[in-house]
Structure 1
Amino acid sequence: MAEFGPELFQTKNGKIITLRACCGQDVDAFLHFQPQIAKETHFTMQMVGKIPDREKIKNDWEINYQDKINLRLGAFYNDDMVGQLAFFPFTPVHPWTHHIGKFGMMILKDYWGQGLGRKMLEIMIPHAKSVDIKKIEAMVRTTNERGVKLYQSLGFNNEGIRKKAALIEKNFLDEYFIAKFLDKYRSNNWVPKTLETHNLILRPICANDASDIFDYARNPKISRYTLWDTHKNIADTLIYIDEVFDNYDHHIPDSWGITLKNSDKVIGTIGCFWANQSVPSMELGYALREDYWGQGLITEAAKIVMDFVFKHYNLLRLQARCHIDNHASAKVIEKIGMIREGTHRYILKCKNELWDMHYYALTKHDWLSLQK
């Protein structure tokens, strides 16, 4: 079962909820929670008088805890469980369905409308992406109007109706089959060409790279002079990856994942985005894990990216900029042949500071001269 938390969440009425992955020690809290859910609503599969076996639940949870895909997220007020979301792989396990995940969620009525369900779903979705799930599915009763509205607001679509899905107190209830697609990086989408240097492979980024990128993007030393903020959690990284996929959809090479030749682990990113398409000109940007600084790797990557974009996009200009105190980045830019055009004072506000920035550029004429 995936690890998560603890993370604190404040409901709309001010209660502080602890969100964390459940373990075997939480079984008693669940057994107190389950009968309350069964009495309050028919929207779940919990039944009054049908009490789950304690040892079986504990054993199942402990087994699932070892599975990176499973996530059993508990919501606790003080020591009482007030909500739970279970995310798990499609069953039965089959090679053709390993891309699908399913979930179920239940919350005590006192906590409906307090933002708790949305919060748990917002934790689940990035987790699903991080374990390479492409589609999330669930069944929701058609009478659960509040739930249907919540799922729709988070991008779930109704794919059909399961007629007479449940018979409760002599009444047949229908269920919506809802689903959300997660992977925008499909094999038929454009991706930048894989590039190779003496030490590196620069390849398209994919959803599986989230944990590698988060591992360095959470380091404040990496983001000290970047225009993006330190990643607080893997959800921030997945938002970034979605932005990369959007760039790919528009044939923009921003970004490549930087890997060493003997490993597929992403240790940094590098890419170019349009600065002015009418010229045409692009801007170069990059980031690298701290433990690979000072080895010339970014310079090596930047040179091949520079050559690629001048050839592939027929650029007239490639530019770069860096904070005036970011001497290491300035050194990289100068090593690949870019010329400093000047320093813009108070050119932008970033991280609550006014930044002075050095601006560099290389024209097509300059670049052709470097090829001789």
Structure 2
Amino acid sequence: MIRGADIEDFSFIYRLYMHPKVNPFLLYEVMNEKDFEPIFHDLLKDKVLFIFHENETNIGMFKLIRLKHRTDHIAYLGGLAIHPDFSGKGFGKKMLESILIFGKEMELLRIELSVSVENEKAINLYQSVGFEKEGILRQYTHLKSENRFLDEALMSRIYPRNY
């Protein structure tokens, strides 16, 4: 199930963003809790941060950011992660399927994301629920900790239009 994140989720979100197996594929460099707090509060204020849970256990997180004006039929999916304790157990696919249902309820026509071209596991997962590659964003993400840039694959999932 999906629910909006709240202040009580800080510890789960922080630990997941900073987890050594997860962090290289997400937006923020490793930082201490104090430095992460304003980022977390902005995400809560913007109401774009969500928790995927099952049986009251937090399993994963994601951001879903609806675009505006002529692109308000689109949402950007980012910060998607399953806690490593639950990795490889089908929760990633369950979470994505739930996100797609949530997007349909929001009357979206398109969900887009970018993913490191090195993250083949994630690319395969996205493709398994209907996301398609649209192109490569060259030198898109800078990993300061490794002093290198990553290319990202731009992917999207289009909902059928009911006219």
TM bucket normalised to smaller:
0.7 to 0.9
Question: For the aligned residues, what is the CA RMSD?
Answer: 2.5
Structure-1 residue corresponding to 2:161: 184
Structure with a larger share of its residues in helix: 2
Alpha-carbon contact 2:14-2:36 (below 8 Å) kept: no
For residues 259-310 of structure 1, the C-alpha deviation after alignment (integer angstroms, 9 at most, x for no partner) is xxxxxxxxxxxxxxxxxxxxxxxxxxxxxxxxxxxxxxxxxxxxxxxxxxxx
Does structure 2 conserve the Cα–Cα contact (< 8 Å) formed by 1:73 and 1:120?
A: no
SS of match in other structure, 1:155: coil
- Equivalent position to 2:52, from 74, 90, 101: 74
Structure 1 residue 27 and structure 2 residue 10: aligned?
yes
* Aligned counterpart in structure 2 of residue 129 of structure 1, from 89, 100, 104: 104
Deviation at 1:50, TM superposition (A): 5.6
Q: Does 1:87 align with 2:64?
A: yes
Q: Specify which structure has the bigger relative contact order, considering alpha-carbon pairs within 8 angstroms and separated by 6 or more residues.
A: 2
Task: Decide which of 154, 160, 166 is 2:141's aligned counterpart.
Answer: 166
Residue 49 (str. 1) matches residue 31 (str. 2): yes
Are 1:149 and 2:131 matched, yes or no?
no
Residue 40 of structure 1: aligned partner: 21
1:160–1:78 distance in 2 versus 1, CA, 3 Å: same
Match of residue 203 from structure 1 = none
- 1:114 is aligned, of 86, 89, 95, to 89
Where in structure 1 are there 5+ consecutive unaligned residues? Answer: 1-6, 8-18, 65-69, 187-372
- TM-score with structure 1 setting the length: 0.39
SS in structure 1 of the partner of residue 140 of structure 2: strand
Please name the residue that 1:266 is paired with. Answer: none
Following superposition, the deviation at residue 59 of structure 1 comes to 5.7
Q: Which runs of 5+ in 2 are unaligned?
A: none
* CA displacement at 1:77 relative to structure 2: 8.2
Q: Percent identity over the alignment?
A: 25
Deviation digits for residues 235-258 of structure 1, max 9, x if unmatched?
xxxxxxxxxxxxxxxxxxxxxxxx
Q: TM-score, normalised by structure 2?
A: 0.82
Q: How many residues align?
A: 158
Larger Rg: 1
Q: Distance in 2 between matches of 1:59 and 1:157?
A: 30
